[in-house]
Amino acid sequence: MTKKEKILHSYITNIIQDEKPKKIFIYTSLDVSKLVRRIEKLNVNTLSIGPEIQGVSEENFDLFIILDDIQTSESNIGIIKNLLSQKIAIFTTFEDDETTNDTMLKLGFQTELFDKNNNVKCFSYNLKTYNNKRTWNNPDGWANPENFDKFRW
């Protein structure tokens, strides 16, 4: 096992331990049997692995992981984000880094792991923490119902 694989596997198991997902999809065409053995020790009900997302569009996963062997398009990431999962981890290499960074930022992803020595980079998206509720960004008091009978505009 290479150092990159060790970093990748430990990072993924840490995500699973922190988030406690029950249904996971790993989007890859690689042999991830060593990673599967690590995941089996965790409390996961369903683990799906595949190189295609066609046919999985009817399922909803607690965590969707895209490994760096898959070159996915912006529209596929949008499909995953909007239809398949609310928690996503995308691993990339540093090829075409500027375009990848711009695309991920545009889609609301954050850089979680950055290891240029081992050529590992991870972007994540979690709908629950993406747009935190702010006290000023809610409808309470915007219409000023106490002033309805006092003022006419």
Q: What is the pLDDT of residues 54-89, one digit of tens each?
A: 777 677 899 999 999 998 889 899 889 888 998 999
What lies within 8 Å, CB to CB, of 109 at 6+ separation is 88, 90, 123, 124, 125
Q: What is the pLDDT of residues 21-66, one digit of tens each?
A: 999 999 999 999 999 999 999 989 999 999 988 777 677 899 999 9
CA pair distance 134, 70, nearest whole angstrom: 36
List the helix and strand counts (H, then E) for the chain. 5, 6
Ordered by where they begin, the domains of the chain are 3-127 (3.40.50.150)
Compute φ and ψ for 51, nearest 5 degrees: -90, 0
In one-letter notation, the amino acid at residue 90 is I
- Report percent pLDDT > 90 for the chain: 51
Instruction: Give this prediction's pTM.
Output: 0.82
Which band of pLDDT confidence, cut at 50, 70 and 90, is reported for residue 96? confident
The predicted model gives 84-110 an average pLDDT of 90
Q: What 3-state DSSP class applies to 73?
A: coil
